[in-house]
Amino acid sequence: MRSLWVLTLLLLAVPSWAGPADEALAAEAKGDLGSATAAWLRAIEAEPSRSEAYEALGRLQLRAGQFDDAVSTFERLVTSAPEYARGSYRLAFALRKAGRYREAAAAYQAYAGAAPDDPDAQFGLAESRKQLGDKTGALAAYRAYLALERRPSESKWVERARQEIAALERTDAVAPGPERPLEAALPSTAAARADGVATATVDPDT
């Protein structure tokens, strides 16, 4: 009986991530991104293994142009949830937005090794290699993306990849093209309820 009482006290003493997560989602819905960011930080402090909180925080930081902060957030995600392969993709995208193309390419390759059928890794890898001036590597990755991409919703990026291939084949010059959003990689402000706990869904980064 005493051990049960002690366990109950310990559980009550540990802050839950659900409260701060709900606060963050409510703040986002009101457009109060500063309060949302602070609440997600509290959610992470309460339960450092919650990948949803890192994803939501990182998305807000990307929206605010805080790319280095987003990199740090997604590095923590990869460290805290190494079994969550998509974390490497989040990190790669943030690194690319921060202009750290060599590190981004390495992160995209790591994710591609864990999820070889996901075309997003190849597109991001191609973009990173293009920024590094690696024409051969960029061409290979764009072609790999086209071989894998089957989603009708991504037709815009299929055409973009074809245009990039044609441009790279015509010239040795490598110039940056329009930025592609983070497809289905980061949570939106909507909340999905599971066992009474709020978790964020995903949508493209803006």
161-204 pLDDT, tens digit each: 999 999 999 975 455 555 655 543 343 333 332 333 333 333 32
Please, are residues 88 and 109 in contact by the beta-carbon 8 Å criterion? no
Please, are residues 171 and 75 in contact by the beta-carbon 8 Å criterion? no
120-160 pLDDT, tens digit each: 999 999 999 999 999 999 999 999 999 999 999 999 999 99
Nearest alpha-carbon partner for 122 in 71, 203, 81, 180: 180
The pLDDT value given to residue 61: 94
Q: Output the pTM of the full model.
A: 0.73
**Over the chain, what is the mean pLDDT?**
80
137 CB-near residues (< 8 Å, 6+ apart): 105, 125, 126, 129
Q: Write down the H helix ranges in 1-118.
A: 2-13, 18-29, 33-46, 51-63, 67-80, 86-97, 101-114
